[in-house]
């Protein structure tokens, strides 16, 4: 019996961009992700907002910053994302 070693690649993770809405928690930020979706009946584009809880290990992000987040393992009850980079600082 031989044991084969296979190198499995992990699946690609979702990446989103959004605005930091709150940074009151320790190592956690709330991010609002806005997406444009076409309405099924009226064929008009509608803005949908979704709030994501993201891990911010350095407590670096501030309210108003534009950030890129990546899907990750569950870190708490609501936190399933982590900050990859801060794209633009709030003015």
DSSP codes of every residue in 55-87: E-TT----TT-EEEEEE-S--SSS--EEEEEEE
Which letter does DSSP use for residue 89 in this model?
-
In the chain, what are the domain boundaries?
Answer: 15-88
Global confidence as pTM:
0.83
pLDDT band at 91 (very low <50, low <70, confident <90, very high): confident
| Domain 15-88 CATH assignment equals 2.60.40.4070 | no
Tell me: the pLDDT tens digits for 24-64? 999 999 999 999 999 999 999 999 999 999 999 999 999 99
Q: What is the mean pLDDT of the chain?
A: 94
């Amino acid at each position: 019996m031989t044991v084969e070693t296979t190198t499995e690649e992990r699946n690609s993770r979702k990446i989103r961009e959004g605005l930091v809405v709150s940074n009151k928690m320790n190592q956690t930020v709330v991010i609002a992700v806005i997406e444009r979706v076409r309405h099924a009946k009226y064929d008009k584009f509608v803005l949908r907002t979704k709030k994501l809880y993201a891990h911010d290990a350095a407590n670096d992000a501030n309210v108003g910053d534009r950030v890129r987040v990546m899907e990750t393992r569950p870190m708490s009850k609501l936190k399933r994302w982590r900050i990859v980079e801060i794209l633009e600082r709030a003015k």
